[in-house]
Amino acid sequence: MRDPVTAYVALGANLGDAAAAVKDAMARIAQIDQTTLARASSLYRSAPVESSGPDYVNAVVEIRTRLAAPDLLARLQAIEAGAGRERPFRNAPRTLDLDLLLYGSGRIDSERLQVPHPRMQQRAFVLVPLAEIAPGRVSPAQLKSVAGQSITLVPSDPGHGA
């Protein structure tokens, strides 16, 4: 059996009840076989980037998994499909988007998967929640480079947790 790898997954949604979709996806990620949810960021609201539609609700989770990266990606895509994810065009509004950001210290460059995620350094909606749960993974310079992008903390719902 392979040793567990620490990986980070970005979550986002902007159709329907986006906050509920992101929270549900966190719970589903925690149920992936050979995978443990270690930490979850707060929820953040951000404007669409290179897209249109309502604002997104975003978060990042840290997991520990024994799955190989392609197998983990397949499980994440199954969760997206279960949430009604469609891919009519690049950056289309979505019911759920799950991106594998980092997989240990690995670098993967295949047709299906690129790790580290190729655009994560350009996105406040990835770097801000990642910095919340893994500050050593995001430098002050990286945060400064996305400081002009609008991102706000979603107030937590005391009845449901964040």
94 is catalytic: yes
- Quick one: tokens of 141? 């310079």
Measured CA to CA, the distance from residue 96 to residue 11 in angstroms comes to 7
- List the catalytic residue out of 28, 45, 75, 99: 99
Rounded to the nearest 5°, which phi and psi values hold at 121?
-70, -15
2 is catalytic: no
Task: Tell me the one-letter amino acid at 149.
Answer: Q
- List the catalytic residue out of 28, 45, 75, 97: 97
H-run or E-run covering 35: strand 35-40
Which stretches within the chain are classed as H helix?
Answer: 18-30, 69-82, 124-133, 140-145
Closest CA to 22 of 54, 50, 61: 61
Q: Do 55 and 125 meet the contact criterion of CB atoms below 8 Å apart?
A: no
17 is catalytic: no
Residue-level length of the chain: 162
- List the catalytic residue out of 94, 112, 123, 137: 94
- List the catalytic residue out of 85, 123, 137, 157: 85
Q: Report the catalytic residues.
A: 85, 94, 97, 99
